[in-house]
Amino acid sequence: MVFENLMESIKNNLYSQIIFKIITIFIIGILINIIIGFLFRKRILKLEKLKSSENRRLKITRTKFLKNIITFVIFLFVVVSILFLIPGFEKMTISLLAGAGIAAIIIGFAAQKTLANIVSGFSIAIFTPFRIGDRIKIGEDLGDIEEINLRHTVVRTWDNRRIFVPNSVISEKEIINYSIKEERLLWTINMGISYDSDIDTAKKIMKDLAEKHPDVIVPEIKSEEGEFEKKEPHVRVTECGDFAVNLRLYFWVEKPNKAWITSYDLIEEIKKEFDKQGIEIPFPYRTIVYKKDLEEKKKKNK
């Protein structure tokens, strides 16, 4: 009886030690994550004060991605350590690790998409086709990059929607990055005038209004000869259509988000000025001839 009580006491004490160790590892894991999170937040705040936006975005993107990887590794370590402490799980854990090659193949087939997203996430972090804060266009969606993690990328669209795009999908799609190198953007507006309207007057109206708009800039861009040229707004005749002469206004804006608003303002102003100066914006003309009228015409000719 005494022996049984002793064994029971030892057993209870052993379980208490195991539970204590599990709780300790769990708490240590949480504390490490909190400390790492604090250090990374501190690092990101320093990076946000950098003068170069190009360098700032690149470093913030890689810092946040590194934080996600470290958090994942710590979580994995805590789970494996706890499994080793639980009686009966130790041998099973060793067996699982010993058979990691077979398990990797099975898991690989079962989680192809997840693994593809993780690999693509590493690729994005290393080669950085875009960074946090960049304005990009994926397919038909235009927005800013908010977050890049191991599985997906979060894009905040112009109408404030959040799109969670899997990293593997991003790797396969064509991406337009409006923020890489510089954010200045060449934008265009198309206007059609009638064949009776004066082309030179219409071109002058469009150019003058663009130059007066506060968001239109005149950047200095290096030419092929190595000289810097001022790129002022200009207008070109692009087509003589079926019922209109089509004109295209070219102008530069400081940032992509100003392009749409500026173009809307200019379209309205150009239309009003065209009306004042007698420049007609035509619409399709169609002449409808009824068969009955043709038959009557034939009879008259006879």
- Distance, in Å, from the CA atom of 201 to the CA atom of 198, rounded to the nearest integer, reads 6
The angle formed by the CA atoms of residues 211, 273 and 190, to the nearest 5 degrees, is: 65
Based on the domain organization, do 134 and 217 belong to the same domain?
no
CATH, residue 199: 3.30.70.100
- Distance, in Å, from the CA atom of 133 to the CA atom of 60, rounded to the nearest integer, reads 9
Look at residue 300 and tell me if it is in a domain.
no
Look at residue 33 and tell me if it is in a domain.
yes
Nearest of 279, 196, 289 to residue 235 by alpha carbon: 279
Number of domains in the chain: 2
Based on the domain organization, do 154 and 192 belong to the same domain?
no
pLDDT tens digits for 36-70?
777 777 776 776 666 556 566 667 777 777 777 77
Look at residue 126 and tell me if it is in a domain.
yes
Distances (CA, A) of 162 to 98, 156, 159, 226: 42, 5, 9, 43
Based on the domain organization, do 172 and 69 belong to the same domain?
yes
Based on the domain organization, do 124 and 204 belong to the same domain?
no
- Distance, in Å, from the CA atom of 264 to the CA atom of 269, rounded to the nearest integer, reads 9
Q: Residue 65 has which token pair?
A: 């991605």
Q: What is the extent of the structural domain holding 270?
A: 185-276
Based on the domain organization, do 114 and 202 belong to the same domain?
no
Based on the domain organization, do 207 and 254 belong to the same domain?
yes
Based on the domain organization, do 172 and 197 belong to the same domain?
no
Based on the domain organization, do 40 and 162 belong to the same domain?
yes
Look at residue 283 and tell me if it is in a domain.
no
Global pTM? 0.54
pLDDT tens digits for 184-219?
888 999 999 988 888 999 999 999 999 999 999 888
pLDDT tens digits for 232-283?
899 999 988 888 889 999 999 988 778 888 999 999 999 999 999 888 888 7
Beta-carbon contacts of 55 under 8 Å, excluding residues fewer than 6 positions away, are: none
Based on the domain organization, do 109 and 199 belong to the same domain?
no
Based on the domain organization, do 199 and 96 belong to the same domain?
no
Look at residue 302 and tell me if it is in a domain.
no
Based on the domain organization, do 162 and 199 belong to the same domain?
no
